[in-house]
């Protein structure tokens, strides 16, 4: 006779997983493969998730880091994180077919930065050094036009040319709380600093962090499905820990869970970063059901209904299909 399985409450965060920008970017690669045939080159991972990348590779996408790894005669897609202006300029010089999958909310930050620059402002970008989105945003303007700010301490070290001609923008996938502290310090030091018309941190990042905060103090452990190079996924782990959960862990899938170390847990929270597909979430729930007597509860903080249009070249193809 089999032993009785330990009861376990699984709290499932909502919203979680794919956001509209990620969904659009993946559709762009799939649409480019349909329209142009394989191979289609993609500069940088289209989104930060190996599961997604490997599925698209199986369909004929080839992922590269730089444009000089792409042949002139095949289409190239630019990733959801955005690219410096020099990249499409070089593609146009080489007479390449290219499709820009930059998330529209990232493009909004690019437009803001350009507007501030045109108005004669020095621009501060709140973000993480080396992240593709930061590289893309800084590459919208001439060298030196944008200064990266990562911490409150960075704000204290700033010595702008003219404190009255400053503006800031932010990476879209940051921790809301961390960014608030930096913005507060900026506005305290430079009261005239121009802020974004609308919050730069995207709705999906904010909603997923809110859902994790809501569940954290009810959980013995929170699992965030995502990739270590996914900024919004890493931030979800940090948000869970700050919100009071005993332990939060980033995993790529159920295969990464060390089941032997879970111990006498009673409640587990599950969420997924904005580039993690729902099938990985369901796979983790299935893995828990195989080991525990699971009671599943979805914790909904809001419903998302955002959709972004495809680029014209692919939208026309979809309309004609």
Terminal Cα distance for the chain, rounded: 57
Domain of residue 133: give its range: 105-189
Q: Are residues 145 and 73 in the same domain?
A: no
Question: Which of the listed residues 157, 189, 221 is the one where a domain comes to its end?
Answer: 189
Q: Are residues 208 and 251 in the same domain?
A: yes
Q: Which residues neighbour 62 within 8 Å (Cβ) at sequence distance 6 or greater?
A: 39, 40, 41, 42
Q: Are residues 280 and 212 in the same domain?
A: yes
Enumerate the active-site residues.
133
Residue 127 lies in a domain: yes
Residue 267 lies in a domain: yes
Residue 1 lies in a domain: no
Q: Are residues 69 and 122 in the same domain?
A: no
Cβ burial of 80 (10 Å; 0-12, 13-18, 19+) is buried
Note the pLDDT tens digit of each residue in 133-183: 999 999 999 999 999 999 999 999 999 999 999 999 999 999 888 899 999
What gap in Å lies between CA 163 and CA 193, rounded to an integer?
7
On the question of pLDDT at 130 being above 80, the answer is yes
Q: Are residues 54 and 128 in the same domain?
A: no
Q: Are residues 167 and 222 in the same domain?
A: no
pLDDT given for residue 4 in this prediction: 84
Note the pLDDT tens digit of each residue in 31-79: 999 999 999 999 999 999 999 999 999 999 999 999 999 999 999 999 9
Q: Are residues 216 and 284 in the same domain?
A: yes
CATH of the domain at 29: 3.40.50.11270
Residue 305 lies in a domain: no
pLDDT given for residue 3 in this prediction: 65
Look at the chain and report how many structural domains it folds into.
Answer: 3
Note the pLDDT tens digit of each residue in 239-270: 999 999 999 999 999 999 999 999 889 999 99
Peptide bond before residue 260 is cis, with ω within 30 degrees of 0: no
What gap in Å lies between CA 49 and CA 13, rounded to an integer?
19
């Amino acid at each position: 006779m089999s032993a009785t399985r330990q009861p376990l409450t699984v709290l499932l965060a909502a919203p979680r997983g794919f956001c509209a920008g990620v969904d659009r970017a993946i559709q762009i690669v799939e649409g480019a493969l349909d329209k142009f045939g394989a191979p289609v080159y993609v500069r940088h991972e289209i989104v930060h998730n190996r599961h997604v990348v490997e599925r698209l590779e199986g369909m004929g996408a080839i992922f590269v880091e730089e444009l000089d790894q792409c042949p002139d005669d095949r289409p190239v897609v630019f990733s959801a994180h955005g690219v410096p202006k020099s990249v499409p300029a070089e593609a146009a010089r080489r007479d390449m077919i290219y499709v820009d999958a930059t998330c529209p909310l990232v493009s909004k930050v690019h437009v803001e930065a350009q507007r501030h620059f045109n108005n004669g402002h020095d621009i501060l970008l709140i973000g993480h050094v080396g992240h593709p989105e930061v590289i893309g945003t800084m590459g919208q303007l001439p060298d030196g036009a944008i200064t990266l700010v990562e911490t409150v301490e960075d704000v204290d070290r700033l010595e702008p040319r003219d404190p009255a001609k400053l503006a800031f923008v932010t990476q879209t996938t940051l921790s809301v709380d961390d960014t608030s502290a930096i913005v507060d310090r900026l506005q305290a030091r430079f009261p005239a600093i121009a802020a974004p018309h609308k919050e730069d941190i995207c709705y999906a990042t904010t909603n997923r962090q809110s859902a994790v905060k809501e569940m954290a103090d009810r959980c013995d452990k929170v699992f965030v499905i995502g990739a270590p190079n996914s900024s919004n996924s890493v931030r979800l782990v940090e948000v869970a820990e700050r919100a009071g959960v005993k332990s939060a862990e980033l995993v790529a899938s159920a295969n990464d869970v060390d089941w032997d170390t879970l111990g006498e847990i009673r409640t587990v929270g599950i969420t997924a970063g904005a580039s993690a597909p729902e099938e990985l979430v369901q796979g983790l729930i299935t893995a828990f059901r195989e080991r525990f007597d699971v009671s599943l509860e979805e914790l909904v903080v809001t419903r998302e209904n955002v959709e972004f249009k495809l680029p014209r070249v692919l939208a026309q193809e979809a309309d004609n299909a």
